Structure 1
Amino acid sequence: MKKIGFIGTGSMGNILISSFLDAKAIAPNNVYVTNRTLKKAHDIASQYDGVHVVEDVKTLVKEVDYIFLCVKPLQMIPLLEEVKHCITKEHTLISITSPLLVEELENTTDAKVIRFIPSIVNRALDGPSLVTFGKTCSDSDKECFLSFVKKISRPEIIDNNITRVASDIGCCGPAFISFIVEQMIQSAVEETEISKEEATTIMESMLIGYGELLRQKHFTLETLRERVTVPGGVTGVGLDVLRAEVGKQFNKMFVKTHEKYDEDRRLIHEQLNKSPKINHSN
């Protein structure tokens, strides 16, 4: 059984640790966690008997096989500089941040490298995760890792060219959809006599059933919409409004997320260029 280390126990690090443990993908005594604020790491350990809290990243690296790097994009390079000399070719480095490419991460270390971008929906032990393997990962390495993350997600292997948009859909998507749903609830409250509590309860129940319809393959997105829409009916009138009002809003959203991604990529490249301790490609 591999020993798994998590550097960073913020929102996504916490979700990953809890998900893997709840899915019994890892035994608690094989989990090692550390965080800049150790209280967050101790909070997780208090929920799962056997989890090890480690005071510094170098000690953690020496104890584990898989190293999940669960820090913000611009914290990644300084972290790698700190632990570079502790990492060996026997380790597997797993970055959960999208702007740092696998090949750039490979240039920092002799370890095997994987980029694994999770989604908040993985907390329900389902939903997409995005995986990109480094060149030094063997077929058995890939099979082992995919088997591991399938315990909490449905991994999709992706190339760099669709990293941002795939993340927008699978990882940012829950936040985008939540915003749209909240707006729909608020509008219902403003325009009718329904209470926010009533509208929220009905909406949440509908969304759960909606997901089950798709999961059980009763409908596709298109056929579901067609089945609900009766010619000349209420749904059709509502869809007409959406078609007229939505316009290119989602196109604009994807443009903005890609602009932010490009900015993060530029800042990371600057860090790589300034770092005397990390070899990198131009």
Structure 2
Amino acid sequence: MKIGFIGTGNMGRILIEAFIEAKVTSPSSIYITNRTIGKAKAIQEEHPNVNLCRTVEGLISEVDYLFVCVKPLDIHPLLIKLKSQLSKEQCIISITSPLSVEQIESIVPCQVARVIPSITNRALSGVSLITVGQSCTEKTQHDIEKMLQKISTPVYIQNNVTRVASDIVSCGPAFFSFLLQRFIDAAVRETEINEEQATKLASEMLIGMGNLLEKGHYTLPTLQEKVCVKGGVTGEGIKVLEREIGTLFIHLFQSTHSKYFEDIEEVKEQFHLL
């Protein structure tokens, strides 16, 4: 199974390195390219057996599965450029949420899927979100699942929950790392603990909490119940959170969805050119 990656920015590189570490396929069966070829070359320098392709056309001629890891508005012109070179045996896998598999299928003759990864996949953990097109065969779907199972927990989603699922899985690490950093900053500001120690304690706490949830010892509500002793310090902290968080996360989802719908409209304008 030969796998290609067009785009070696943050998420493209995360997938490439996770695939190599998890032995999804051999490095010699991975083909990469990037508009700025130096970014792709930097990956090959670290993983010499990975194939560096100078052109997208050269990459397509080699691979069975093609991950497209470029910006949403760059995908349409790329598909127009490449559609005559793609065969029905190949599969394009987009990693961007504003484009539906149906839109991509309207242009290319090959099979189409969408996979929305997470930075947590670099640690061979977390979730990856899958949507497959009608063009996908059972074998292709099985192959995609098998790839992703080695770096994540694959979850199938429908178009109507694409954004919120992406917010939780893909954006969530950034959101909660921001909150954790503010938690640490406040601890340093209000007490005598230093930033290094506070960061160490908070990071280990988060890892430990994740392990508790992963192993099924507690759910999120029961975690609160077990730690929050009646009349204790934790309870006072929870009162502050209840009072001050308010509609914070409602506004967060409203904002991400607003931007998402803007992106969808921009993408639609491109596809209406057909």
Q: Which residue of 1 aligns with 2:42?
A: 43
How many residue pairs end up in the alignment? 274
TM-score (ref. length: structure 2) = 0.98
Can you list the C-alpha shifts for 1:18-46, whole angstroms capped at 9, x where unaligned?
00001111101100000011111111111
Query: In 2, distance between residues paired with 1:59 and 1:48?
Result: 19
Q: Which residue of 2 aligns with 1:138?
A: 137
TM-score (ref. length: structure 1) = 0.96
Q: Which residue of 1 aligns with 2:248?
A: 249
Query: In 1, distance between residues paired with 2:141 and 2:166?
Result: 21
Aligned-pair Cα RMSD in Å = 0.8
Query: In 2, distance between residues paired with 1:82 and 1:55?
Result: 16
Q: Which residue of 1 aligns with 2:83?
A: 84
Alignment of 1:146-161 (within 5 A): 146-161=145-160
Q: Which residue of 1 aligns with 2:60?
A: 61
Query: In 2, distance between residues paired with 1:74 and 1:171?
Result: 19
Q: Which residue of 2 aligns with 1:280?
A: none
Query: In 1, distance between residues paired with 2:143 and 2:122?
Result: 21
Cα deviation for residue 82 of structure 1 reads: 1.4
Cα deviation for residue 3 of structure 1 reads: 0.6
Query: In 1, distance between residues paired with 2:270 and 2:253?
Result: 26
Q: Which residue of 1 aligns with 2:209?
A: 210
Query: In 2, distance between residues paired with 1:40 and 1:29?
Result: 18
Amino acid at match of 2:32: V
Query: In 2, distance between residues paired with 1:106 and 1:236?
Result: 53
Amino acid at match of 1:71: V
Report SS of the residue matched to 2:131.
strand
Amino acid at match of 2:243: A
Amino acid at match of 2:232: G
Query: In 1, distance between residues paired with 2:167 and 2:147?
Result: 24
Query: In 2, distance between residues paired with 1:99 and 1:54?
Result: 27
Mind listing any 5+ residue stretches in structure 2 that lack a counterpart? none
Query: In 2, distance between residues paired with 1:141 and 1:179?
Result: 38
1:25 partnered with 2:24? yes
Alignment of 1:98-113 (within 5 A): 98-113=97-112
Report SS of the residue matched to 1:171.
helix
Alignment of 1:219-234 (within 5 A): 219-234=218-233
Report SS of the residue matched to 1:132.
strand
Report SS of the residue matched to 1:172.
helix
The ranges of structure 1 where at least 4 consecutive aligned residues each deviate by more than 4 angstroms after the TM superposition are none
Q: Which residue of 2 aligns with 1:117?
A: 116
Report SS of the residue matched to 2:87.
coil
Query: In 1, distance between residues paired with 2:70 and 2:137?
Result: 26
Residue identity over aligned pairs, in percent, reads 50
Q: Which residue of 1 aligns with 2:165?
A: 166
